[in-house]
């Protein structure tokens, strides 16, 4: 039996949202899984962003597979502060033999493999029971994986998930590590991981591109934006499952790239109302076509490689790309703005230059990249009295802030426009060499070996090495 809790969406946090029963939806087609501490953080960030756009109830279950007691305590504490509607069920591993994980050793699980594999089978079966309970088998399993101590263990878990849910689409979000100490490990386990994940679909991100916190936030916003676009009323677009299935169909290949622009900050002003909440936040519209121009600019920016979440190399730009933008507008305004942006892009020749590109809008209000920071692991509180006092004070404070927000209004975070592009890496045959991010790590030992040869005078010394690197 695994540890578990339930969380759910507070429905919607969009500026200027109407009363909005637009998201009454009992479908829960998504299942999320993260293997390792960093990937569990990514899952939780994605859940939070799905909550921002009112789509958290689309996730039936999330498996936070980290053999680490600190992670379990931290996520459990955060989960208790979230409200439940339909209820997304969160699963944790129960058997944690070393308390704080395997210390980056991908084979550290081997001495405990018997019990760990047995628990994997049990938790996968519990995920199946949850699916049967709500009467909705998952359409898409998103599995966040990296190259830490849970790399091989996570791949084995993924195989069990696929066998339990054979009709579900699957996508592995593969994270290239920033830490140089993990690069050797990535080279060591790459081939073994790929053998454990045959015929799989992958989305690649690279922590070395920039601030890993920003990268994680952009990834979460991207997934939430796509899912939110599918809930846009009568003009609803494809779901996340539809998008990923379409971009990996046939000869498009199994590897995906993702670009995400730096969020555009939008101006707001405070207005007063005769009814509670008395203070409300409104978006400053400015000129009539200002949002249209921002949408055009954002769509064009996503085509620039500097906004990619990994160094994908020279890929074919003629491949099908799907562009999604999120704006903090009422749901009934989205089709109008989307039509304006699409017409403007067509008039400027955007779709003629990119005939396989598409553009969609979503109603969402998500924070900027700069606002995201993970809460560190929490120490164990000792003593029932201390826990009782802390919980009581917390409940009283939350009640007080809720009452004030109902009367005076909430200080909503500054609204931002997010825009992302998903596209297939059609030229990839051998990802280890055809995608620049893993290739750069793969070739590092070769480069170091060549450098030692140059320094030892085998090819003329270090001066010749510098000339070689400049010329080469």
Q: Are 394 and 441 in contact (CB under 8 A)?
A: no
What pLDDT, on the 0 to 100 scale, is given for residue 400?
Answer: 80
d(C-alpha 233, C-alpha 229), whole Å: 9
Nearby residues of 10 by Cβ (< 8 Å), 6 or more positions away: 51, 82, 83, 85
Pairing of strands 202-206, 255-260: parallel
pLDDT at 286: 66
The label of the residue with tokens 């290949």 reads 253
Closest CA to 431 of 418, 444, 440: 440
Phi and psi, residue 275, nearest 5°: -115, 150
Q: Supply 83's token pair.
A: 């409200």
Q: At what angle do helices 151-164 and 113-134 cross, to 10 degrees?
A: 40
Mean pLDDT by 10 residues, the chain (472 residues): 60 35 62 94 92 90 88 70 63 82 87 94 94 92 95 96 96 95 92 95 95 93 93 71 92 92 84 74 71 93 94 76 92 89 95 92 85 53 71 82 68 82 92 93 64 50 45 42
- Six-digit token string for 24: 């009454």
Respond yes or no on whether the N-terminal peptide bond of residue 277 is cis (omega within 30° of 0). Answer: yes
Q: Which residues contact 384 (CB under 8 A, 6 or more apart)?
A: none
Query: Shortest CA distance to 105 belongs to which of 72, 64, 147?
Result: 147
Structure tokens at 39: 């990937």
Crossing angle for the helix pair 69-80 and 37-52, nearest 10 degrees? 10
Angle CA 423–426–431, to nearest 5: 100
């Amino acid at each position: 039996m695994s540890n578990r809790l339930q969380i759910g969406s507070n429905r919607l946090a969009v500026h200027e949202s109407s009363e909005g029963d637009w998201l009454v939806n009992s479908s829960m087609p998504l299942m999320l899984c993260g293997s390792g501490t960093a990937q569990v953080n990514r899952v939780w960030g994605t859940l939070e962003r799905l909550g921002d756009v009112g789509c958290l109830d689309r996730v039936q279950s999330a498996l936070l597979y980290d053999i680490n007691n600190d992670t379990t305590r931290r996520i459990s504490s955060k989960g208790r502060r979230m409200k439940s509607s339909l209820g997304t069920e969160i699963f944790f591993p129960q058997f944690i033999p070393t308390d704080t994980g395997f210390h980056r050793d991908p084979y550290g699980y081997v001495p405990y493999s018997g019990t760990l594999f047995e628990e994997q089978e049990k938790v996968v079966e519990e995920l199946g029971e949850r699916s049967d309970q709500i009467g909705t088998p998952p359409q898409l399993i998103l599995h966040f994986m990296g190259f830490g101590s849970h790399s091989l263990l996570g791949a084995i878990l993924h195989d069990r998930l696929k066998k339990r849910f054979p009709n579900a689409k699957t996508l592995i979000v593969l994270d290239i590590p920033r830490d140089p100490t993990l690069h050797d490990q990535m080279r060591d386990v790459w081939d073994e991981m790929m053998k454990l994940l045959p015929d799989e679909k992958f989305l690649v991100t690279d922590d070395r591109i920039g601030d890993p916190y920003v990268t994680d936030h952009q990834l979460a916003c991207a997934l939430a934006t796509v899912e939110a676009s599918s809930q846009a009323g009568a003009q609803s677009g494809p779901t996340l499952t539809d998008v990923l299935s379409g971009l990996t169909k046939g000869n498009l290949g199994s590897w995906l790239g993702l670009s995400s622009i730096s969020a555009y900050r939008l101006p707001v002003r405070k207005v007063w109302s005769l009814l509670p909440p008395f203070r409300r936040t409104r978006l400053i519209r400015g000129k009539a076509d200002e949002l249209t121009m921002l949408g055009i600019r954002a769509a064009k920016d996503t085509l620039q490689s500097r906004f990619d979440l990994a160094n994908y190399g020279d890929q074919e730009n003629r491949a099908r790309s799907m562009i999604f933008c999120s704006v903090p507008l009422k749901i009934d305004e989205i089709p109008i703005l989307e039509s304006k942006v699409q017409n403007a892009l067509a008039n400027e020749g955007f779709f003629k230059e990119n005939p396989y590109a598409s553009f969609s809008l979503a109603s969402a209000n998500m924070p900027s990249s700069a606002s995201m920071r993970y809460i560190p692991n929490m120490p164990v509180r000792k003593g029932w009295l201390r826990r009782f006092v802390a919980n009581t004070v917390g409940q009283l404070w939350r009640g007080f802030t809720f009452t004030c927000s109902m009367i005076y209004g909430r200080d909503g975070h500054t609204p931002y426009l997010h825009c992302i592009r998903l596209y297939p890496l059609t030229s990839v045959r051998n990802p280890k060499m055809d995608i620049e991010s893993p290739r750069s790590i793969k070739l590092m030992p070769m480069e170091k070996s060549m450098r030692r040869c140059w320094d030892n005078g085998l090819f003329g010394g270090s001066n010749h090495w510098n000339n070689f690197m400049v010329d080469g």
